[in-house]
A and B are shown apart, each in its own frame.
Chain A
Protein backbone atom coordinates (compact mmCIF):
# COMPACT_ATOMS: atom_id res chain seq x y z
CA UNK A 1 0.00 0.00 0.00
CA UNK A 2 1.28 3.49 -0.86
CA UNK A 3 2.39 5.32 2.26
CA UNK A 4 0.09 8.28 1.63
CA UNK A 5 -2.87 5.92 1.55
CA UNK A 6 -2.33 4.93 5.16
CA UNK A 7 -2.35 8.55 6.28
CA UNK A 8 -5.60 9.21 4.41
CA UNK A 9 -7.18 6.03 5.79
CA UNK A 10 -6.27 7.07 9.32
CA UNK A 11 -7.47 10.61 8.71
CA UNK A 12 -10.83 9.49 7.34
CA UNK A 13 -11.39 7.04 10.16
CA UNK A 14 -10.39 9.67 12.73
CA UNK A 15 -12.69 12.27 11.19
CA UNK A 16 -15.51 9.71 11.25
CA UNK A 17 -14.95 9.24 14.99
CA UNK A 18 -15.02 12.90 15.92
CA UNK A 19 -18.06 15.03 16.62
CA UNK A 20 -16.52 18.25 15.24
CA UNK A 21 -17.38 19.08 11.62
CA UNK A 22 -14.32 18.09 9.61
CA UNK A 23 -13.51 17.76 5.96
CA UNK A 24 -10.44 16.43 4.23
CA UNK A 25 -9.02 17.71 0.95
CA UNK A 26 -6.22 16.23 -1.10
CA UNK A 27 -3.05 17.93 -2.22
CA UNK A 28 -4.82 19.59 -5.17
CA UNK A 29 -7.67 20.85 -3.02
CA UNK A 30 -10.03 18.13 -4.13
CA UNK A 31 -12.65 17.08 -1.60
CA UNK A 32 -11.80 13.63 -0.28
CA UNK A 33 -14.15 13.24 2.64
CA UNK A 34 -16.37 15.00 5.14
CA UNK A 35 -17.73 13.54 8.34
CA UNK A 36 -21.21 13.11 9.73
CA UNK A 37 -21.05 16.36 11.65
CA UNK A 38 -20.59 18.18 8.32
CA UNK A 39 -23.39 16.11 6.84
CA UNK A 40 -25.67 17.23 9.62
CA UNK A 41 -24.56 20.85 9.22
CA UNK A 42 -25.11 20.97 5.47
CA UNK A 43 -27.93 18.47 5.06
CA UNK A 44 -25.78 16.63 2.51
CA UNK A 45 -24.34 13.13 2.65
CA UNK A 46 -20.77 12.57 1.50
CA UNK A 47 -21.69 9.19 0.08
CA UNK A 48 -24.27 10.87 -2.18
CA UNK A 49 -21.74 13.42 -3.47
CA UNK A 50 -18.45 11.56 -3.56
CA UNK A 51 -15.07 13.12 -4.16
CA UNK A 52 -15.09 16.41 -6.05
CA UNK A 53 -12.61 18.81 -7.54
CA UNK A 54 -11.85 22.21 -6.05
CA UNK A 55 -13.78 23.84 -8.87
CA UNK A 56 -16.93 22.08 -7.75
CA UNK A 57 -17.17 21.32 -4.04
CA UNK A 58 -17.27 24.84 -2.51
CA UNK A 59 -20.40 25.72 -4.46
CA UNK A 60 -21.92 22.28 -3.94
CA UNK A 61 -21.43 22.60 -0.20
CA UNK A 62 -22.83 26.12 -0.25
CA UNK A 63 -19.73 27.87 1.03
CA UNK A 64 -19.47 31.65 1.10
CA UNK A 65 -17.59 34.32 2.95
CA UNK A 66 -19.01 35.59 6.21
CA UNK A 67 -21.20 38.08 4.38
CA UNK A 68 -22.68 35.51 2.04
CA UNK A 69 -20.55 36.54 -0.92
CA UNK A 70 -18.12 34.65 -3.09
CA UNK A 71 -14.79 33.80 -1.61
CA UNK A 72 -11.77 33.14 -3.75
CA UNK A 73 -10.13 29.76 -3.55
CA UNK A 74 -7.03 31.32 -2.08
CA UNK A 75 -9.07 32.65 0.82
CA UNK A 76 -10.63 29.32 1.68
CA UNK A 77 -8.87 28.09 4.83
CA UNK A 78 -8.04 24.63 3.47
CA UNK A 79 -6.74 26.01 0.16
CA UNK A 80 -4.70 28.70 1.91
CA UNK A 81 -3.29 26.00 4.18
CA UNK A 82 -2.25 23.93 1.15
CA UNK A 83 -0.58 26.89 -0.55
CA UNK A 84 1.27 28.31 2.42
CA UNK A 85 1.80 25.03 4.31
CA UNK A 86 0.66 27.00 7.33
CA UNK A 87 -2.64 26.97 9.20
CA UNK A 88 -5.28 29.39 7.97
CA UNK A 89 -8.30 30.81 9.73
CA UNK A 90 -11.26 32.90 8.70
CA UNK A 91 -14.98 33.24 9.21
CA UNK A 92 -16.96 31.36 6.59
CA UNK A 93 -20.60 31.08 5.70
CA UNK A 94 -22.48 27.95 4.73
CA UNK A 95 -25.97 27.36 3.48
CA UNK A 96 -26.85 24.69 5.96
CA UNK A 97 -29.54 22.08 6.28
CA UNK A 98 -33.00 23.47 5.71
CA UNK A 99 -31.58 26.43 3.80
CA UNK A 100 -30.46 28.14 7.00
CA UNK A 101 -27.36 30.28 6.48
CA UNK A 102 -24.78 29.98 9.20
CA UNK A 103 -21.54 31.72 10.02
CA UNK A 104 -18.79 29.56 11.33
CA UNK A 105 -15.14 29.80 12.21
CA UNK A 106 -13.13 27.92 9.60
CA UNK A 107 -9.64 26.50 10.11
CA UNK A 108 -7.42 24.78 7.59
CA UNK A 109 -4.44 22.70 8.71
CA UNK A 110 -1.99 21.39 6.09
CA UNK A 111 -0.86 17.79 6.35
CA UNK A 112 2.66 16.93 5.28
CA UNK A 113 4.03 13.41 5.24
CA UNK A 114 7.37 12.36 6.63
CA UNK A 115 8.87 12.45 3.14
CA UNK A 116 7.91 16.13 2.86
CA UNK A 117 5.07 15.37 0.47
CA UNK A 118 1.98 17.52 0.86
CA UNK A 119 -0.83 15.05 1.55
CA UNK A 120 -3.69 17.48 1.78
CA UNK A 121 -5.38 19.53 4.44
CA UNK A 122 -7.83 19.16 7.24
CA UNK A 123 -10.68 21.66 7.43
CA UNK A 124 -12.75 22.34 10.50
CA UNK A 125 -15.89 24.37 10.86
CA UNK A 126 -16.41 25.61 14.31
CA UNK A 127 -19.71 26.11 16.04
CA UNK A 128 -19.56 25.03 19.68
CA UNK A 129 -22.31 22.63 20.62
CA UNK A 130 -24.09 22.80 23.93
CA UNK A 131 -24.48 19.04 23.74
CA UNK A 132 -20.71 18.52 23.94
CA UNK A 133 -20.13 17.10 27.36
CA UNK A 134 -17.44 17.28 29.96
CA UNK A 135 -14.72 14.65 30.05
CA UNK A 136 -15.25 11.36 31.80
CA UNK A 137 -14.53 11.27 35.51
CA UNK A 138 -12.39 8.16 35.22
CA UNK A 139 -9.47 9.35 33.13
CA UNK A 140 -6.42 7.16 32.97
CA UNK A 141 -5.92 3.64 31.73
CA UNK A 142 -6.24 2.52 28.12
CA UNK A 143 -6.96 5.37 25.76
CA UNK A 144 -10.04 6.02 23.69
CA UNK A 145 -9.88 4.88 20.10
CA UNK A 146 -10.08 8.49 18.86
CA UNK A 147 -6.86 9.37 20.72
CA UNK A 148 -5.20 6.21 19.44
CA UNK A 149 -6.06 7.08 15.82
CA UNK A 150 -4.85 10.67 16.29
CA UNK A 151 -1.56 9.42 17.70
CA UNK A 152 -1.08 6.96 14.82
CA UNK A 153 -1.81 9.66 12.26
CA UNK A 154 0.60 12.06 13.97
CA UNK A 155 3.29 9.41 13.73
CA UNK A 156 3.12 9.61 9.93
CA UNK A 157 3.31 13.40 9.66
CA UNK A 158 6.21 15.81 9.37
CA UNK A 159 4.33 18.51 11.25
CA UNK A 160 5.21 18.69 14.94
CA UNK A 161 2.13 17.54 16.82
CA UNK A 162 1.44 17.02 20.45
CA UNK A 163 -1.59 15.78 22.27
CA UNK A 164 -2.97 16.18 25.78
CA UNK A 165 -5.77 14.32 27.46
CA UNK A 166 -8.96 15.90 28.77
CA UNK A 167 -7.23 16.97 31.98
CA UNK A 168 -4.39 18.66 30.11
CA UNK A 169 -1.81 15.96 30.81
CA UNK A 170 0.68 15.47 27.98
CA UNK A 171 0.03 12.16 26.26
CA UNK A 172 2.17 12.19 23.17
CA UNK A 173 4.26 14.15 20.73
CA UNK A 174 5.54 12.85 17.43
CA UNK A 175 9.07 12.50 16.12
CA UNK A 176 8.74 15.79 14.24
CA UNK A 177 8.14 17.57 17.53
CA UNK A 178 11.27 16.25 19.20
CA UNK A 179 13.54 19.08 17.91
CA UNK A 180 11.16 21.66 19.40
CA UNK A 181 11.21 19.93 22.77
CA UNK A 182 14.91 19.24 22.56
CA UNK A 183 14.38 15.70 23.78
CA UNK A 184 12.39 12.54 23.26
CA UNK A 185 8.89 11.78 24.46
CA UNK A 186 9.89 9.45 27.30
CA UNK A 187 11.96 12.16 28.98
CA UNK A 188 9.09 14.63 28.91
CA UNK A 189 6.40 12.22 30.12
CA UNK A 190 8.29 11.72 33.35
CA UNK A 191 8.12 15.44 34.22
CA UNK A 192 5.13 16.78 36.11
CA UNK A 193 3.01 19.10 33.91
CA UNK A 194 3.42 22.27 35.99
CA UNK A 195 7.18 21.78 36.22
CA UNK A 196 7.37 21.05 32.50
CA UNK A 197 5.49 24.21 31.58
CA UNK A 198 7.73 26.30 33.81
CA UNK A 199 10.82 24.78 32.21
CA UNK A 200 9.63 25.70 28.71
CA UNK A 201 9.35 29.41 29.69
CA UNK A 202 6.90 30.28 26.95
CA UNK A 203 6.57 33.98 26.12
CA UNK A 204 4.09 35.78 23.92
CA UNK A 205 4.93 37.96 20.93
CA UNK A 206 5.63 40.90 23.24
CA UNK A 207 8.05 38.85 25.27
CA UNK A 208 5.78 38.57 28.30
CA UNK A 209 5.34 35.22 30.02
CA UNK A 210 2.59 33.23 28.34
CA UNK A 211 0.19 32.01 30.95
CA UNK A 212 -0.84 28.38 30.69
CA UNK A 213 -4.47 29.20 29.96
CA UNK A 214 -3.38 31.36 27.02
CA UNK A 215 -1.38 28.57 25.48
CA UNK A 216 -3.31 27.33 22.41
CA UNK A 217 -3.57 23.70 23.39
CA UNK A 218 -4.74 24.54 26.90
CA UNK A 219 -7.16 27.13 25.54
CA UNK A 220 -8.51 24.58 23.04
CA UNK A 221 -8.95 22.01 25.80
CA UNK A 222 -10.50 24.33 28.37
CA UNK A 223 -12.76 26.32 26.04
CA UNK A 224 -13.45 23.49 23.58
CA UNK A 225 -12.75 25.60 20.52
CA UNK A 226 -9.76 26.05 18.20
CA UNK A 227 -7.02 28.35 19.38
CA UNK A 228 -4.07 29.87 17.59
CA UNK A 229 -1.13 32.01 18.54
CA UNK A 230 2.57 32.65 18.11
CA UNK A 231 4.96 32.44 21.01
CA UNK A 232 8.49 31.54 21.99
CA UNK A 233 9.36 28.38 23.81
CA UNK A 234 12.61 27.04 25.25
CA UNK A 235 13.09 23.35 24.69
CA UNK A 236 14.68 21.02 27.21
CA UNK A 237 17.91 21.48 25.26
CA UNK A 238 17.90 25.13 26.37
CA UNK A 239 17.31 26.51 22.85
CA UNK A 240 14.54 29.10 22.38
CA UNK A 241 12.39 28.80 19.30
CA UNK A 242 9.64 30.93 17.79
CA UNK A 243 6.53 28.84 17.31
CA UNK A 244 3.18 29.19 15.59
CA UNK A 245 0.58 26.80 16.98
CA UNK A 246 -2.96 25.89 16.03
CA UNK A 247 -4.74 23.65 18.49
CA UNK A 248 -8.12 21.96 18.36
CA UNK A 249 -10.10 20.09 21.01
CA UNK A 250 -10.95 16.48 20.37
CA UNK A 251 -14.63 15.76 20.91
CA UNK A 252 -15.25 12.06 20.42
CA UNK A 253 -18.12 9.87 19.32
CA UNK A 254 -19.49 10.00 22.82
CA UNK A 255 -19.66 13.80 22.37
CA UNK A 256 -17.37 14.15 25.37
CA UNK A 257 -14.07 16.03 25.50
CA UNK A 258 -11.24 13.56 25.05
CA UNK A 259 -8.31 15.94 24.89
CA UNK A 260 -6.71 18.40 22.52
CA UNK A 261 -4.09 18.33 19.82
CA UNK A 262 -1.64 21.06 18.86
CA UNK A 263 0.00 21.50 15.46
CA UNK A 264 3.28 23.44 15.57
CA UNK A 265 5.32 25.32 13.03
CA UNK A 266 8.69 26.78 13.80
CA UNK A 267 8.84 30.36 12.60
CA UNK A 268 12.02 31.03 10.72
CA UNK A 269 12.54 34.76 11.07
CA UNK A 270 15.20 34.81 8.43
Chain B
Protein backbone atom coordinates (compact mmCIF):
# COMPACT_ATOMS: atom_id res chain seq x y z
CA UNK B 1 0.00 0.00 0.00
CA UNK B 2 1.49 3.35 -1.02
CA UNK B 3 0.28 6.48 0.67
CA UNK B 4 1.12 9.94 -0.69
CA UNK B 5 0.26 13.23 0.96
CA UNK B 6 -0.99 15.89 -1.45
CA UNK B 7 -2.39 18.31 1.09
CA UNK B 8 -1.80 18.43 4.85
CA UNK B 9 -3.24 21.81 5.74
CA UNK B 10 -6.58 22.40 7.43
CA UNK B 11 -9.32 25.03 7.24
CA UNK B 12 -7.80 27.19 4.51
CA UNK B 13 -5.06 26.73 1.96
CA UNK B 14 -1.94 28.49 3.17
CA UNK B 15 0.63 28.88 0.42
CA UNK B 16 3.59 31.08 1.06
CA UNK B 17 7.28 31.08 1.88
CA UNK B 18 6.58 30.33 5.54
CA UNK B 19 4.76 27.07 4.70
CA UNK B 20 6.94 25.75 1.89
CA UNK B 21 8.17 22.66 3.75
CA UNK B 22 5.02 21.23 5.30
CA UNK B 23 2.91 22.62 2.48
CA UNK B 24 -0.10 24.85 2.07
CA UNK B 25 -2.63 22.68 0.21
CA UNK B 26 -5.64 21.44 2.13
CA UNK B 27 -6.44 17.81 2.86
CA UNK B 28 -5.82 15.22 0.19
CA UNK B 29 -4.16 11.82 0.47
CA UNK B 30 -3.58 9.28 -2.31
CA UNK B 31 -3.69 5.56 -1.53
CA UNK B 32 -2.63 2.94 -4.08
CA UNK B 33 -3.23 -0.70 -3.24
CA UNK B 34 -3.98 -3.86 -5.20
CA UNK B 35 -4.25 -1.91 -8.43
CA UNK B 36 -6.76 0.52 -7.00
CA UNK B 37 -6.53 4.29 -6.63
CA UNK B 38 -8.23 5.85 -3.63
CA UNK B 39 -8.21 9.57 -2.95
CA UNK B 40 -8.97 10.61 0.61
CA UNK B 41 -10.62 14.02 0.60
CA UNK B 42 -10.63 16.58 -2.17
CA UNK B 43 -8.95 19.63 -0.68
CA UNK B 44 -6.87 21.88 -2.87
CA UNK B 45 -4.14 19.22 -2.98
CA UNK B 46 -6.27 17.08 -5.29
CA UNK B 47 -5.55 19.35 -8.23
CA UNK B 48 -1.87 18.43 -8.39
CA UNK B 49 -2.73 14.77 -7.76
CA UNK B 50 -5.05 14.85 -10.75
CA UNK B 51 -2.19 15.96 -13.00
CA UNK B 52 -0.24 12.80 -12.16
CA UNK B 53 -2.95 10.19 -12.69
CA UNK B 54 -2.48 7.94 -15.68
CA UNK B 55 -4.96 8.65 -18.46
CA UNK B 56 -6.06 5.00 -18.71
CA UNK B 57 -6.70 4.58 -14.99
CA UNK B 58 -10.28 3.49 -15.66
CA UNK B 59 -11.60 4.09 -12.19
CA UNK B 60 -10.86 6.42 -9.28
CA UNK B 61 -12.51 6.29 -5.86
CA UNK B 62 -12.72 9.54 -3.90
CA UNK B 63 -13.51 9.04 -0.22
CA UNK B 64 -14.73 12.24 1.41
CA UNK B 65 -14.71 12.48 5.20
CA UNK B 66 -17.12 15.42 5.20
CA UNK B 67 -18.16 18.35 3.10
CA UNK B 68 -16.47 21.28 4.79
CA UNK B 69 -14.92 23.48 2.16
CA UNK B 70 -11.31 22.63 2.91
CA UNK B 71 -12.06 18.97 2.12
CA UNK B 72 -13.98 19.44 -1.13
CA UNK B 73 -12.70 22.68 -2.58
CA UNK B 74 -10.44 20.94 -5.09
CA UNK B 75 -13.03 18.46 -6.33
CA UNK B 76 -14.19 20.57 -9.26
CA UNK B 77 -10.60 20.80 -10.46
CA UNK B 78 -9.86 17.08 -10.33
CA UNK B 79 -8.90 16.14 -13.87
CA UNK B 80 -10.41 12.60 -14.04
CA UNK B 81 -13.87 14.13 -13.54
CA UNK B 82 -13.56 15.44 -17.08
CA UNK B 83 -12.50 12.12 -18.71
CA UNK B 84 -15.45 10.43 -20.45
CA UNK B 85 -13.81 7.00 -20.16
CA UNK B 86 -13.23 7.22 -16.42
CA UNK B 87 -15.47 5.98 -13.62
CA UNK B 88 -15.25 8.28 -10.62
CA UNK B 89 -16.87 6.94 -7.48
CA UNK B 90 -17.36 9.53 -4.75
CA UNK B 91 -18.03 8.15 -1.30
CA UNK B 92 -19.13 10.43 1.52
CA UNK B 93 -21.61 11.10 4.28
CA UNK B 94 -25.21 12.07 3.80
CA UNK B 95 -26.88 14.04 6.56
CA UNK B 96 -30.00 13.08 8.49
CA UNK B 97 -32.23 14.53 5.78
CA UNK B 98 -30.10 15.12 2.68
CA UNK B 99 -28.40 12.66 0.36
CA UNK B 100 -24.73 12.95 -0.52
CA UNK B 101 -25.78 14.06 -4.00
CA UNK B 102 -27.89 16.93 -2.70
CA UNK B 103 -25.22 18.01 -0.26
CA UNK B 104 -22.48 17.98 -2.91
CA UNK B 105 -24.69 19.82 -5.35
CA UNK B 106 -24.83 22.76 -2.94
CA UNK B 107 -21.15 23.33 -3.72
CA UNK B 108 -20.81 21.97 -7.24
CA UNK B 109 -23.40 24.29 -8.71
CA UNK B 110 -23.78 28.02 -9.38
CA UNK B 111 -23.18 30.45 -7.77
CA UNK B 112 -20.40 28.67 -5.90
CA UNK B 113 -19.10 26.71 -8.88
CA UNK B 114 -19.88 27.07 -12.58
CA UNK B 115 -19.93 23.33 -13.34
CA UNK B 116 -22.77 21.11 -12.20
CA UNK B 117 -22.42 17.46 -11.20
CA UNK B 118 -24.59 16.43 -14.11
CA UNK B 119 -22.31 18.26 -16.54
CA UNK B 120 -19.21 16.27 -15.65
CA UNK B 121 -17.91 14.08 -18.48
CA UNK B 122 -16.90 11.11 -16.35
CA UNK B 123 -19.14 8.26 -15.28
CA UNK B 124 -19.84 9.68 -11.83
CA UNK B 125 -21.29 7.45 -9.13
CA UNK B 126 -22.07 8.64 -5.62
CA UNK B 127 -22.18 6.42 -2.55
CA UNK B 128 -23.52 7.33 0.86
CA UNK B 129 -21.27 5.79 3.50
CA UNK B 130 -23.37 6.62 6.59
CA UNK B 131 -25.53 3.48 6.45
CA UNK B 132 -22.44 1.34 5.77
CA UNK B 133 -19.89 0.27 8.30
CA UNK B 134 -17.70 -1.48 5.81
CA UNK B 135 -17.38 -1.86 2.08
CA UNK B 136 -14.76 -3.01 -0.36
CA UNK B 137 -13.22 -1.64 -3.52
CA UNK B 138 -11.70 -4.64 -5.22
CA UNK B 139 -9.38 -6.22 -2.68
CA UNK B 140 -9.24 -3.07 -0.57
CA UNK B 141 -11.38 -3.30 2.56
CA UNK B 142 -12.68 -0.09 4.06
CA UNK B 143 -14.39 0.55 7.35
CA UNK B 144 -16.11 3.82 8.13
CA UNK B 145 -17.57 5.39 11.26
CA UNK B 146 -19.11 8.70 12.17
CA UNK B 147 -16.68 10.65 14.31
CA UNK B 148 -16.70 13.67 16.60
CA UNK B 149 -16.76 16.78 14.39
CA UNK B 150 -19.48 19.33 13.60
CA UNK B 151 -21.69 18.08 10.78
CA UNK B 152 -21.81 14.56 9.38
CA UNK B 153 -18.16 13.47 9.39
CA UNK B 154 -16.61 10.05 8.98
CA UNK B 155 -13.20 8.50 9.33
CA UNK B 156 -11.87 5.68 7.17
CA UNK B 157 -9.81 2.59 7.93
CA UNK B 158 -8.25 1.03 4.83
CA UNK B 159 -6.78 -2.44 4.75
CA UNK B 160 -5.27 -4.48 1.98
CA UNK B 161 -2.99 -7.48 1.95
CA UNK B 162 -1.93 -7.06 5.57
CA UNK B 163 -1.26 -3.31 5.39
CA UNK B 164 -3.54 -0.88 7.20
CA UNK B 165 -4.03 2.84 7.58
CA UNK B 166 -6.61 5.12 9.17
CA UNK B 167 -7.58 8.61 8.08
CA UNK B 168 -9.11 10.92 10.70
CA UNK B 169 -8.26 14.40 9.46
CA UNK B 170 -11.01 16.26 11.31
CA UNK B 171 -11.64 14.79 14.72
CA UNK B 172 -12.13 16.07 18.26
CA UNK B 173 -12.33 12.93 20.39
CA UNK B 174 -11.67 14.92 23.56
CA UNK B 175 -14.72 17.18 23.21
CA UNK B 176 -16.31 17.76 26.59
CA UNK B 177 -14.37 15.01 28.34
CA UNK B 178 -11.67 15.52 30.93
CA UNK B 179 -10.45 11.95 30.64
CA UNK B 180 -11.68 10.81 27.26
CA UNK B 181 -9.19 7.95 27.08
CA UNK B 182 -10.33 6.40 30.36
CA UNK B 183 -12.80 3.94 28.84
CA UNK B 184 -11.79 2.36 25.55
CA UNK B 185 -15.27 1.74 24.12
CA UNK B 186 -16.22 5.37 24.74
CA UNK B 187 -13.41 6.90 22.64
CA UNK B 188 -14.79 8.16 19.33
CA UNK B 189 -13.09 6.60 16.32
CA UNK B 190 -10.94 4.21 18.35
CA UNK B 191 -11.96 1.07 16.52
CA UNK B 192 -11.03 2.63 13.20
CA UNK B 193 -7.49 3.31 14.40
CA UNK B 194 -6.81 0.18 16.45
CA UNK B 195 -3.35 -1.18 15.70
CA UNK B 196 -2.96 0.31 12.22
CA UNK B 197 0.38 0.69 10.47
CA UNK B 198 -0.29 4.35 9.77
CA UNK B 199 -2.68 6.83 11.40
CA UNK B 200 -3.27 10.23 9.86
CA UNK B 201 -4.98 12.30 12.56
CA UNK B 202 -6.13 15.84 13.15
CA UNK B 203 -3.57 17.87 15.12
CA UNK B 204 -4.58 21.39 14.21
CA UNK B 205 -3.90 23.16 17.47
CA UNK B 206 -1.13 23.51 19.96
CA UNK B 207 -1.98 22.62 23.56
CA UNK B 208 -2.17 26.34 24.37
CA UNK B 209 -4.54 27.06 21.51
CA UNK B 210 -7.05 24.23 22.04
CA UNK B 211 -9.01 25.72 24.98
CA UNK B 212 -9.99 28.64 22.75
CA UNK B 213 -11.36 26.29 20.11
CA UNK B 214 -13.26 23.67 22.06
CA UNK B 215 -16.13 22.42 19.92
CA UNK B 216 -14.58 23.45 16.61
CA UNK B 217 -14.01 19.80 15.83
CA UNK B 218 -10.22 19.58 15.95
CA UNK B 219 -7.57 18.18 18.23
CA UNK B 220 -4.40 19.54 19.68
CA UNK B 221 -1.11 17.84 18.85
CA UNK B 222 -0.83 16.32 22.37
CA UNK B 223 -4.38 14.99 22.05
CA UNK B 224 -3.52 13.39 18.71
CA UNK B 225 -0.51 11.73 20.32
CA UNK B 226 -2.65 10.48 23.20
CA UNK B 227 -5.22 9.06 20.80
CA UNK B 228 -2.55 7.33 18.73
CA UNK B 229 -1.05 5.78 21.85
CA UNK B 230 -4.47 4.57 23.03
CA UNK B 231 -5.08 3.01 19.61
CA UNK B 232 -1.71 1.28 19.54
CA UNK B 233 -0.76 2.53 16.09
CA UNK B 234 2.70 2.03 14.62
CA UNK B 235 3.12 5.43 12.93
CA UNK B 236 1.29 8.73 13.39
CA UNK B 237 1.17 11.59 10.92
CA UNK B 238 -0.18 14.73 12.62
CA UNK B 239 -2.33 16.40 10.01
CA UNK B 240 -4.64 19.31 9.20
CA UNK B 241 -2.14 21.94 10.27
CA UNK B 242 -3.62 25.27 11.15
CA UNK B 243 -3.12 27.83 8.35
CA UNK B 244 -1.38 30.17 10.78
CA UNK B 245 1.23 27.59 11.74
CA UNK B 246 4.44 28.24 9.87
CA UNK B 247 7.05 25.59 9.16
CA UNK B 248 9.13 26.91 12.05
CA UNK B 249 6.20 26.78 14.43
CA UNK B 250 5.36 23.20 13.42
CA UNK B 251 9.00 22.19 13.93
CA UNK B 252 8.92 23.72 17.39
CA UNK B 253 5.62 22.04 18.32
CA UNK B 254 6.90 18.65 17.21
CA UNK B 255 10.24 19.18 19.00
CA UNK B 256 8.40 20.03 22.21
CA UNK B 257 6.26 16.91 22.13
CA UNK B 258 9.06 14.55 21.17
CA UNK B 259 11.24 16.03 23.87
CA UNK B 260 8.63 15.79 26.60
CA UNK B 261 7.48 12.18 26.35
CA UNK B 262 8.38 8.77 25.12
CA UNK B 263 6.11 7.75 22.30
CA UNK B 264 5.09 4.13 21.71
CA UNK B 265 4.90 4.79 17.98
CA UNK B 266 6.87 6.63 15.32
CA UNK B 267 5.87 10.29 14.99
CA UNK B 268 6.28 11.33 11.38
CA UNK B 269 6.55 15.03 10.60
CA UNK B 270 5.05 14.49 7.22
CA UNK B 271 5.00 17.21 4.66
CA UNK B 272 3.07 17.57 1.44
CA UNK B 273 4.64 15.23 -1.11
CA UNK B 274 5.74 12.61 1.40
CA UNK B 275 5.28 8.99 0.31
CA UNK B 276 4.88 6.00 2.61
CA UNK B 277 5.17 2.38 1.53
CA UNK B 278 3.31 0.17 3.96
CA UNK B 279 4.33 -3.49 4.11
CA UNK B 280 1.88 -5.84 2.46
CA UNK B 281 -0.89 -4.24 0.45
Contacts and interface: CB of A to CB of B under 8 A. Distances in A.
Interface of A: 1, 5-6, 9-10, 13, 16-19, 35-37, 39-40, 136, 138, 141-146, 148-149, 151-153, 155-156, 252-256
Nearest to B174: A152
A252 to B, nearest CB: 8
Contacts of B95: 36, 253
A148 B185 CA distance: 9
B96 A253 contact: yes
Interface of B: 93, 95-98, 130-131, 133, 145-148, 150-152, 175-177, 184-191, 211-212, 214-215
Contacts of B98: 36
Contacts of B211: 1
Given A9-B175, A36-B95, A148-B187, 4 more contacts: A10-B175, A13-B215, A36-B97, A142-B191
Given A141-B185, A253-B130, A1 B146 contact: no
Considering the complex of A and B, which 6 residue pairs feature the smallest CB-CB distances, nearest first? A9-B215, A40-B97, A152-B176, A142-B191, A19-B96, A10-B176
Given A141-B185, A144-B146, A253-B152, A136 B176 contact: no
A148 B97 contact: no
Nearest to B180: A152
Contact of B97 (A5, A39, A145, A153): A39
A6 B146 CA distance: 21
Given A142-B190, A148-B186, A255 B96 contact: yes
B186 to A, nearest CB: 6
Given A13-B175, A254-B131, A37 B191 contact: no
Nearest to B94: A253
B154 to A, nearest CB: 10
Contact of B185 (A37, A143, A145): A143
A254 B150 CA distance: 16
A136 B133 contact: yes
Nearest to A140: B185
A142 B184 contact: yes
A36 B96 contact: yes
A9 B151 CA distance: 13
Contacts, number: 83
A143 B146 CA distance: 10
B186 A143 contact: yes
Contacts of A13: 148, 150, 175, 215
Given A148-B148, A156-B176, A1 B214 contact: yes
A156 B147 CA distance: 21
A6 B97 contact: no
Given A16-B151, A255-B96, A145 B146 contact: yes
B230 to A, nearest CB: 11
25 contacts: A1-B211, A1-B214, A6-B176, A9-B214, A9-B215, A13-B175, A19-B96, A35-B96, A36-B97, A37-B97, A141-B191, A142-B184, A142-B185, A142-B187, A145-B145, A145-B188, A145-B189, A146-B146, A148-B148, A148-B186, A148-B188, A153-B176, A252-B146, A253-B96, A253-B152
A155 B176 CA distance: 9
B56 to A, nearest CB: 37
Nearest to B187: A142
A19 B98 CA distance: 11
Contact of B146 (A10, A136, A253): A253
A19 B131 CA distance: 13
A5 B130 CA distance: 29
Contacts of B93: 253
A9 B176 contact: yes
A16 B146 contact: no
- Which residue, A5, A13, A19, has most C-beta atoms of chain B within 10 A? A13
A153 B133 CA distance: 25
A153 B176 CA distance: 8
B96 A151 contact: no
B166 to A, nearest CB: 13
B232 to A, nearest CB: 14
A151 B5 CA distance: 36
Nearest to B211: A1
A13 B170 CA distance: 14
B268 to A, nearest CB: 25
A43 B15 CA distance: 40
B176 to A, nearest CB: 4
Contacts of A151: 186
A254 B177 CA distance: 24
A54 to B, nearest CB: 25
Contacts of A5: 214-215
A39 B97 CA distance: 9
Nearest to B213: A1
A264 B61 CA distance: 48
A151 B177 CA distance: 10
Contacts of A252: 146
Contacts of A10: 175-176, 215
A107 to B, nearest CB: 19
